Amino acid sequence: MQLKNDLYTYRVTWSDEDQEYVGLCTEFPSLSWLAETQESALQGIRQFVAEVISDMKTSNEKIPVPFSIRKYSGKFMVRIPPEVHRKIAIIAAEEGVSINRLVSARLAK
């Protein structure tokens, strides 16, 4: 599978400490790129990711799959204390929905 670096999850935010914009890539949390403009930060991190992917291919390292093309089942399990489970069950009953529907709606916010 050939991956393109434009499928990754990028974010640009302001760094008050550096007094510059910082470009980030979620799939490569150790990478960042500082620049004076948002556009330059995004361009910089995308190019940096492309270079890292190239190096990883050369080294036969496993390249992260972009979140945008990962497959998800829609299910996950979470353990909570019994008293929290009880509280959620009561709220769901009062709202006339299942626990699953209640938690899904709350997480989507």
Residue 63 sits in the same domain as residue 81: no
pLDDT value of residue 107 = 93
10-residue averages of pLDDT along the chain (109 residues): 77 98 97 98 97 96 94 93 96 95 93
**How many angstroms separate the CA atoms of 88 and 100, rounded?**
10
Residue 55 sits in the same domain as residue 89: no
Residue 33 sits in the same domain as residue 60: yes
Number of folded domains that form the chain: 2
Question: Of the candidates 38, 53, 68, which is a domain's last residue?
Answer: 68
pLDDT value of residue 109 = 85
Residue 76 sits in the same domain as residue 59: no
CATH number at residue 46: 3.30.160
pLDDT value of residue 81 = 97
Residue type at 70 in one-letter notation: R
Residues 6+ apart with CB under 8 A from 44: 23, 33, 34, 35
pLDDT value of residue 3 = 55
Residue 29 sits in the same domain as residue 14: yes
Residue 89 sits in the same domain as residue 103: yes
Pair 8, 27: CB distance under 8 Å: yes
Q: Which DSSP state fits 35?
A: E
Q: Which residue segment(s) compose the domain that 92 sits in?
A: 72-107
